[in-house]
Amino acid sequence: MDKDVEAGSVAPAPGTPTTPVKEERTADGAIIVDWDENDPENPLHWPVWRKYMTVGVVVFITALTAMNATTVGIMATWGVEWFDTTYTGFELSLTMYLGSLAITPLILAPMSELFGRNPIYQVTSVITALLFIPQALSRSLPGLLAARWFQGMASAVGNSMVGGTVADLFSARDRGFAMSMFVFFTFVGQSGGAAFGWIGERAGIQWCYGVQGIAAGVSVLINIVCLRETRSDVLLAKKAKRLTKQTGVKHVARSTGPKKTMVEMISLSAIRPLKYLVTEPIVTSLTLWIAFNWGCIFLGTSSTLLVFAQYGWTPGLLGMVLLTTLVGAILGQAATLHQERLYARACARSATGKAAPEVRLYWACVGGLLYPLSMYGFAWTGRPSVPWGVPAMFLSFALWGVYMMYAGLYNYLADAYETFSSSAQASHSFVRNLFSATFPLFAHAMYKNLGYEIASTVVASVSLALAAAPCLLIVYGPALRKRSKVASALAQHY
């Protein structure tokens, strides 16, 4: 307890036992409000159905955010002519979207601290839906790029806030499945782009944007009906304000600290992730590893369409290639369940009941090798003389590998950096989205100039070199965490 908090007591209400109830007060006499045991207002104690309903609503936002990115590759079939631009010019719409996705989370964190998560979900979902209108109606490339930039800012909640919502609702011990839903729906959303080859083929690019706008509108309605505030400190502040009004005695939330300005909070939110990126070897190595492989997903979205076009497929059939992402996600989810069992066994063997963070990386190591090896297979089987199912199988396995890297990274950083995991994850999210924003810009030229086999081989070779990162962390991670001021201090505390 802080030195400026002292014990006090209140007179019992009539008809209650006369034993005084102890309470904590600040130096100026304000009563400190905290959650009672099993308090139904605490999101951690909400009914299970309500928790998973909330998770379902927010991962739907995640899926729409991911789908909005991966549809650009197939939509380039019509977008180049519609917007009177080059292939690279149209791909800039993806760069603008993902670029703003990279930057905006640095601002969203302090905004959610001030206003809560629910208002941000509600406002940004409306903005996202409305910004599909100019994309569907305009034929101006600058207008498209502007709309995509601001839509990326609004859609960033689907990447940056959903993990925080899951943490609001579940304790660390219980959140594994809910967090895996977040990862799973990220990949499901990416595979959702499969439908847009058919939509564009039959109705044109306008309806590619229009259908996404309708889906975003449905999300707005679901959010209004189903979403409630989940951030604990915001709810406690509201509870303290309500009790102050009811009793006439000042109440303050336990989580309330010294007031910071928005500028101060944004500075902290932006500087800490960047600081971790250059001072924490764990964050640096894992970030470069996953960022490259994640960028390759978006590079691959463009390049795989070129590869399968050799089979003489229509745009509708080409879009179906994105279903390999769904296959990879299903395989990845099954592997995640096994990873959770491995972690539970390690916890049972541990004297403290808590396993080392490196246990989270076992399947990530498998994924780190599975991705480049599968990409080698894809590189040399993606040709008309080989049945299309063979390169599609290798592509599914490659995406299975990326899934396991992504899931392992999130859980590892959460365990290694505990209360500062959001900053560690913001570091990798920032770089990951920058890679994703830039890789598609050179995908078309790279595959055309190097040839499909050589281009995919280059991608696989770089990824294979980076695959050592999680394996080395399993061996040297404990020593690196001891040398890390942040991770070592947290290990002693927790």
- Considering the domain architecture, whether residues 219 and 121 belong to the same structural domain is answered as yes
Q: What's this model's pTM, rounded to 2 decimal places?
A: 0.84
186 and 201 together in one domain = yes
Contact 54, 227 (CB under 8 A): yes
- Considering the domain architecture, whether residues 266 and 360 belong to the same structural domain is answered as yes
| pLDDT at position 172 over 50 | yes
- Which position has the higher pLDDT, 133 or 473? 133
Residue 340 in domain:
yes
Q: Are residues 23 and 58 in the same domain?
A: no
Number of domains, the chain: 3
In a domain, 359, yes or no: yes
Which amino acid is present at 273? Answer: P
Sign of the torsion formed by the C-alpha atoms of 269, 271, 277 and 279? negative
pLDDT of residue 392: 94
212 shares its domain with 356: no
Whether residue 101 is contained in a domain is answered as: yes
Structural domain contains residue 490: no
Q: What is the pLDDT of residue 479?
A: 84
Residues 208 and 238 in one domain: no
Residue at 57: amino acid letter: V
Residues of the domain holding 116: 34-228
**pLDDT tens sequence across 412-457:** 887 777 656 667 777 777 888 888 888 888 888 888 899 889 988 9
Q: Is residue 223 part of a domain?
A: yes
Handedness of CA 214, 220, 221, 223 (dihedral sign): positive
Tokens 């499969």 -> residue: 194
Tokens linked to 395: 């592509």
Do the domain assignments include residue 39?
A: yes
- CA 196, CA 214: separation in Å to the nearest integer? 14
**Mutual angle of helices 48-82 and 117-130, in 10-degree steps:** 30
Picking from 53, 76, 69, 132, the residue whose alpha carbon sits closest to that of residue 306 is 76
Q: What is the pLDDT of residue 103?
A: 87
pLDDT at 28 over 80: no
C-alpha span between 110 and 121 (Å, rounded): 14
Last residue of a domain, one of 196, 218, 253: 253
Q: Indicate the average pLDDT of the chain.
A: 84
In CATH, what number is assigned to the domain containing residue 453?
Answer: 1.20.1250.20
Q: How far apart are CA 225 and CA 468, in angstroms?
A: 46
Model pLDDT for residues 336-390, shown as the tens digit of each residue? 989 989 988 998 888 887 888 889 899 999 999 999 999 999 999 989 999 999 9
- Polymer length of the chain: 494
